[in-house]
Amino acid sequence: MKLIVGLGNIGREYENTYHNIGFMCADKTAEMLNAEFTKEKFRSILAETKIGGEKVVIAKPKTYMNLSGTAIREMVDFYKTETKDLLVLYDDFDLKLGSVRIRESGSAGTHNGMRNVVSELGTEDFPRIRVGFKPETDITLPLIDFVLSGIDKDAKSVLEKAIIKASEAAAEFARGATVREIMQKYNGNTD
């Protein structure tokens, strides 16, 4: 089976924020795979489908960003998912606005949600897709406030393209493409 998890924060006030890019990718991936978020389990909202007889679960943890790993740990344990079959989608301020980076493994960097995922799983060896949102100009807010601020209209169109690209990559992962194949096809900017 494949487990695809988008990181974000539950609640209306977070819907259109940079820190919810992972949720946006999960929603778009589910749409591409004709799956609907209809279940609540593992402190998450789940969408399920089958592709070629293999179960695919797309999840949005309800634990809030910094405790995302606790929900992911529950799912990995329940489904007995190997980490190579887990894909995590999330926002990354360290990447330029609109860029998409797929990796087989790696550190959590400055992302607190990913730090919790790595800590709970006890490994950095799982695939991830990062969507960059660092603006070209310096931000005036502290980073914690910026990531929870509303996505401005100039960034929105660039991010929409990046979210589609990241979601297409996640859908290919669900269909059985290898991470290396996905990296070759999708790594880079949206243009």
Extract the tokens encoding 148.
């929870």
Length of the chain: 191
Q: Please state, in angstroms and rounded to a whole number, the distance separating the CA atoms of residues 55 and 128.
A: 19
Residue with token string 């490994």: 123
**19 an active-site residue?**
yes
Q: Which domain holds residue 73?
A: 2-189
Q: With the CA atoms of 113, 115, 120 and 124 taken in that order, what torsion angle do they form, in degrees rounded to the nearest 10?
A: 120
pLDDT at 189: 53
pLDDT at 109: 86
Residue type, 47: A
pLDDT at 26: 98
Q: What is the mean pLDDT of each run of 10 residues along the chain (191 residues)?
A: 97 94 98 98 98 96 96 98 97 95 92 96 97 90 88 94 97 97 81 49
Task: Give every CB contact of residue 30 below 8 A, 6+ residues apart in sequence.
Answer: 36, 37, 47, 58
Of 2, 19, 60, 128, catalytic: 19
CATH number of the domain at 148, please. Answer: 3.40.50.1470
Q: Please state, in angstroms and rounded to a whole number, the distance separating the CA atoms of residues 36 and 146.
A: 30
Task: Give every CB contact of residue 114 below 8 A, 6+ residues apart in sequence.
Answer: 7, 68, 88, 90, 108, 128
**Strands of 44-51's sheet, edge to edge?**
37-41, 44-51, 54-61, 2-6, 86-96, 128-134, 99-103, 188-189
Number of domains in the chain: 1
DSSP state at residue 10: -
pLDDT at 33: 98
Q: Please state, in angstroms and rounded to a whole number, the distance separating the CA atoms of residues 115 and 100.
A: 19
Q: Is the dihedral of CA 78, 81, 83, 89 positive or negative?
A: negative
pLDDT at 188: 60
DSSP state at residue 65: G
